[in-house]
Amino acid sequence: MLKEASDGQLTALYNAVSASEQVQFEPVGRWFEAFLKRRSRNVSASFQELEEEEELSEEEEDEELQLEEYPMLKTLDPKDWKNQDHYAVLGLAHIRYKATQKQIKAAHKAMVLKHHPDKRKAAGEQIVEGDNDYFTCITKAMEMLSDPVKRRAFDSVDPTFDNMVPSKAEGKENFFEVFAPVFERNSRWTVKKHVPSLGSMDASFEDVDNFYSFWYNFDSWREFSYLDEEEKEKAECRDERRWIEKQNRASRAQRKKEEMNRIRTLVDTAYNCDPRIKKFKEEEKARKESEKKAKADAKKREQEEKERARQEEEAAARMQREKEEEAARQAAQQAKKEKEVQKKAIKKERQKLRTTCKTHSYFTDNEADGVRMMEEVEKLCDRLELTSLQMLNEALASGNKEQSKAALEKQVQEVNVQMQKEKEAEMQAQQASRGAEHTSAGGGGGANNRGWNEEDLQLLIKAVNLFPAGTNARWEVIASYMNQHSSSGVKRTAKDVINKAKTLQKLDPHQKDEINRKAFEKFRKEHSVVPQTVDNAAPSERFDAVSAESNSSPWTTEEQKLLEQALKTFPVNTPERWEKISDAVPGRSKKDCMKRYKELVEMIKAKKAAQEQVTAKNKK
């Protein structure tokens, strides 16, 4: 034992300390239970202290337990035990489903000590023999409440439970005061232990959403087996027991469905009356409106930016186009000026050439040679370019008369040689085209491929335009049309017409223009000559006036459209119809319009006749 240190002195011990070690252990048995209790309570205490504390709390509960005497206890019918309130029978009506098993046992013990038949008999009270005594109800109540399964069945149909659901009118006035106790009352049926509260007006969206999510997914343990009308234990056989079980299951399922509908109605009513939901919806609506407005503003700004960029691009393109147009206009003006200058220079050189030749009497003393040289000079003026004219004029001005005549004759000879070569080349081209025509048409043979005069060619061109591509049996119709209107008397077949049309397509454009020119000249000769009477009488003034007004030029596409529109606008019964039609077609007289109308009618009739002839031939 260490000596006690004197006053003013210190005692010091010196020794080596071993290193600390961590040791893991696992409590078992009652010590494990004490460990769990300490951990749940977050305290450090021994097992004995916890047991003493638990016993002390139970003793305090027993001392605090007060039983309420059930005034109707002695009037209960033991045979009608299902309709009795078991908690009230044991004096636990004030705590009901919150009563513990120990409290139930204590209550039953107190009721037995007070109402047991032996006790009452000893007190001189008259006792009913058998199970008809009301003490049987106390025994039945203990039997029901001591069994957890039977107790849950009775708690599910607790007669004191209020199944009422508040209305919307009640909920809108005082929402939290009305619905808070209702949800708290119905939370006793939940399987889950932690039930969220209804909260207040200041609750967050997450809390409100969590509350309604819990109740919309409410899992209830409430069942209604206590209300079974038939008891399967009373069945006499297995089939009857099965039938009873089936009936009981059906009635339980129906009551369970009604219970869940009641819960759902409660939650729906609360959700519709909840002012917080309305506030959240308004906030959400305002948020969406603000987002929508922001998007619309952004889109508007984007469109404005695009419109601005587009306008800038259009302005730049317009300026570029204007610059290009200005440059093109200036270039055109410059080219026009140069052309005018060149034209004036050519005109000047031509006039100079004519003057020089005229001054020298065209370098001849013979009148006939002078006329010929005059024609040759004009030919030179038409054929020679500016440079050639300038060189020729310089040659004529620099030399004497003989040298000038030689230079002029030399230039005339060169131009004539060039014109002769061009003419020979044109003739060779025509011969080649004729040879190609005979070669392409040689497959048909016979007299039908010969004798294509100008009239037949024009008739073929007219028929091809009259019967366009897509006409039924087009080439047979064209051949029939030509056989009806041709004056040559040669009968053409569809094959002949096709070969000739292909040949015409291969012709040079100049040759096509030549054919069209000849056709127009023929048309003008036929329609412009007015036959006189036999006695060579002079035509009337009216005829002269009409002839003077007539226009013999071909009808253009625009004039044809105006004529067709006028024919539709002014029907047959219109007064002075042809005067109005001629007024609608500028440049055409009444006679021109009537004549064109007759030509169109004859053309349509001929077209229909040709088509009908081919159709009849195909049917045969």
Q: pLDDT-derived band of residue 559, with 50, 70 and 90 as boundaries?
A: confident
Segment holding 615, helix H or strand E: helix 590-619
Predicted local confidence at residue 535, as pLDDT = 39
Predicted local confidence at residue 12, as pLDDT = 66
**Do 418 and 325 share a structural domain?**
yes
Structural domain includes residue 449:
no
- Which region among 50-59, 70-79, 194-203, 338-347 has the lowest average model confidence (pLDDT)? 50-59
Q: pLDDT-derived band of residue 61, with 50, 70 and 90 as boundaries?
A: low
User: Residues of the chain with pLDDT > 90: what percent?
Assistant: 13
**Do 564 and 591 share a structural domain?**
yes
pLDDT at 258 over 70: yes
* End-of-domain residue from the set 412, 433, 454: 433
Q: pLDDT-derived band of residue 54, with 50, 70 and 90 as boundaries?
A: low
pLDDT at 449 over 60: no
**Do 424 and 292 share a structural domain?**
yes
pLDDT at 446 over 50: no
**Do 391 and 319 share a structural domain?**
yes
Predicted local confidence at residue 74, as pLDDT = 81
SS3 string, 528-570, reads HCCCCCCCCCCCCHHHHHHHHHCCCCCCCHHHHHHHHHHHHHC
Structural domain includes residue 266:
yes
**Do 244 and 365 share a structural domain?**
no
**Do 409 and 304 share a structural domain?**
yes
Backbone angles phi, psi at 290, to 5 degrees: -65, -40
The residue that leads in pLDDT, 313 or 126, is 313
* Secondary structure letter of residue 220 according to DSSP: B
Provide mean pLDDT across the span 139-145.
89
Structural domain includes residue 545:
no
pLDDT at 148 over 80: yes
Predicted local confidence at residue 444, as pLDDT = 44
pLDDT at 437 over 80: no
The residue that leads in pLDDT, 185 or 520, is 185
Q: pLDDT-derived band of residue 303, with 50, 70 and 90 as boundaries?
A: very high
Provide mean pLDDT across the span 378-406.
83
- Which region among 256-260, 464-468, 477-481, 540-544 has the lowest average model confidence (pLDDT)? 540-544
Structural domain includes residue 594:
yes
Predicted local confidence at residue 55, as pLDDT = 61
User: Residues of the chain with pLDDT > 70: what percent?
Assistant: 83
Provide mean pLDDT across the span 281-305.
93
Provide mean pLDDT across the span 97-106.
89
Residue 331 CA: distances (Å) to CA of 316, 326, 397, 575: 22, 8, 36, 56
Contact by Cβ (8 Å): 239, 206: no
**Do 421 and 294 share a structural domain?**
yes
Structural domain includes residue 326:
yes
**Do 263 and 300 share a structural domain?**
no
Structural domain includes residue 460:
no
**Do 81 and 51 share a structural domain?**
no
In terms of Cβ atoms closer than 10 Å to its own Cβ (0-12, 13-18, 19+), residue 373 is: buried
**Do 209 and 339 share a structural domain?**
no
Predicted local confidence at residue 282, as pLDDT = 92
Structural domain includes residue 117:
yes
Give the chain's mean pLDDT: 80
Provide mean pLDDT across the span 157-180.
87
Predicted local confidence at residue 310, as pLDDT = 92
* Planar angle of CA 450, 456, 460, nearest 5 degrees: 110
Domain count, the chain: 6
Contact by Cβ (8 Å): 393, 353: yes
**Do 209 and 103 share a structural domain?**
no
Structural domain includes residue 243:
yes
Tokens of 256: 């369970």
Range 78-112 burial, b when 16+ CB lie within 10 A, else e: beebeebbbbbbbbbbebeeebeeebbebbbeebe
pLDDT at 587 over 80: yes
CATH number at residue 574: 1.10.10.60
**Do 400 and 301 share a structural domain?**
yes
> What single string gives the DSSP state of each residue in 360-425?
TGGG-S-HHHHHHHHHHHHHHHHH--HHHHHHHHHHHHHS-HHHHHHHHHHHHHHHHHHHHHHHHH
Task: Give the range of the structural domain holding residue 586, as residue numbers without chain letter.
Answer: 557-618
Predicted local confidence at residue 403, as pLDDT = 83
Predicted local confidence at residue 537, as pLDDT = 40
Residue 54 CA: distances (Å) to CA of 41, 49, 50, 63, 65: 13, 9, 6, 14, 16
CATH number at residue 85: 1.10.287.110
